[in-house]
Structure 1
């Protein structure tokens, strides 16, 4: 079993060396060449991070172990973190987070912890959708206009270009608007 470690900091001003040092102190069989570090926001999905993707796609194999100092190093979005851990465990990679009471997430206890985290992440996602819908309903009830604001005169300009015989592409060019905007206004009535 090979052991890899992943260190992540959010900005280039920060340094992952502290994480790497703490990992080397706590993980006996960790080689310097198997510590992967990058500076990228935790808000970026795990598999969209270049160094992490390289690690998963080209270095980690079934039977390997991936260690992180804290679970949030894998990401800030609970759902993405859980999907990442699931993907790794399905690949046969053991995932360990040294900040959790049960560090090995591939054991029965770790799977229980992961299940609980999944339930909380699902609940969190549902609440976000609920709050968004409530906010939209309240805004509608208050008479607010929802959606993209329309610049005054856009519809008239597009309809005049159409009446003048311009194509949608030519109208977009002439009016300095995107083709999508032209298409949205092309068949509107005044």
Structure 2
């Protein structure tokens, strides 16, 4: 079965031109959506991905209708491949997993994206290590000063409720419960 996916970003736009192109290309069923490409949780895309079975093909008019970033595209394509289905973009002939050449191109892009992610992870780790050596504290700043922490622990030990202590410092009772003497 061939499925189409048509998406526009705003209510002022129309998916009809995409629907016509996809129908002309042989898609009997087109899932339509008005949603920003930046949203990762798009209901109609999720529906069509859930419906895909082995041998099915998902078709779009252009890659940017399916995904906003390379990572999002590769994640979506991995989902499609995991269902043993194919993918085809009418406007990007090289993005066609139903052909050997298209599959090769998307595999190469996937490898490059994985390499890029690993480089980013390594650089981030090196930056954190340098920051720690400089004495920089990592993570969010504490909500309570050292003096406030000591006072809260004393109050907790005297039997005052966590909620009361938390309210007085404008933090949750859970924050107070995690304090150590």
Shorter-chain-normalised TM-score: which range?
A: 0.7 to 0.9
Are 2:161 and 1:164 equivalent residues in the alignment? no
Shift of 1:173: 5.2
Match of 1:30 among 27, 31, 39: 27
Structure 1 residue runs of 5 or longer lacking an equivalent are none
Are 2:53 and 1:61 equivalent residues in the alignment? yes
Partners of 2:165 and 2:10 in 1: how far apart? 43
Match of 1:42 among 13, 28, 37: 37
The equivalent of 2:149 in structure 1 is 155
Partners of 2:36 and 2:120 in 1: how far apart? 21
Contact in 1 for aligned 2:95/2:106 (Cα 8 Å): no
SS for the counterpart of 2:91 is: coil
Shift of 1:56: 2.2
Partners of 2:116 and 2:35 in 1: how far apart? 24
Contact in 1 for aligned 2:162/2:174 (Cα 8 Å): no
The equivalent of 2:119 in structure 1 is 127
TM-score between both structures, scaled by the size of structure 2: 0.77
Partners of 2:166 and 2:72 in 1: how far apart? 39
Shift of 1:88: 1.8
Partners of 2:39 and 2:58 in 1: how far apart? 19
Contact in 2 for aligned 1:79/1:122 (Cα 8 Å): no
Shift of 1:18: 4.1
Aligned residues: 179
Which is worse superposed, 103-112 or 165-174? 165-174
Shift of 1:73: 2.4
Match of 1:94 among 72, 82, 86: 86
Alpha carbons of 1:18 and 1:160: their partners in 2 closer, same or farther (altered >3 Å)? farther
| Runs of 4+ deviating beyond 6 Å | none
Are 2:66 and 1:79 equivalent residues in the alignment? no
